[in-house]
Structure 1
Amino acid sequence: METSFELDKESGENLKGLYQTPPDLFVKELTRDCIEKTISDLLKKGDLEDILNPTVIDSDK
């Protein structure tokens, strides 16, 4: 997991490694600020269900 955070820090993805997305959502710190920034960034990227659960959503509904 540390490698994923470091790669994103270098590339700038996921607010420079502040969080990681599926298969599970992980945040760098369990603080209100970190969680708020993460959710805000994810909402900018699209629908949370699509981003956080890409393999479990039934698109036929």
Structure 2
Amino acid sequence: MKIIHAIIGMVIIVVGLTFLSTTIEEASVRNVMLKIYGSILVFMGTFYLKKIAKFGKQIV
């Protein structure tokens, strides 16, 4: 299960980074909204990896 949760968290982060890197010509409001959505998704992905997948500090 830990691997599945890690993959889900990484996919969320990749989608967020895609939103952050996307720009649309002639639509400044839409660009700002994409940046906000991307930031939120990256934050949610890192939170998911840290809390749910327990991918933070690991003791071996």
TM, length-normalised to structure 1: 0.34
Greater share of helix = 2
Answer with 1 or 2: which has the greater Rg: 2
Greater share of strand = 1
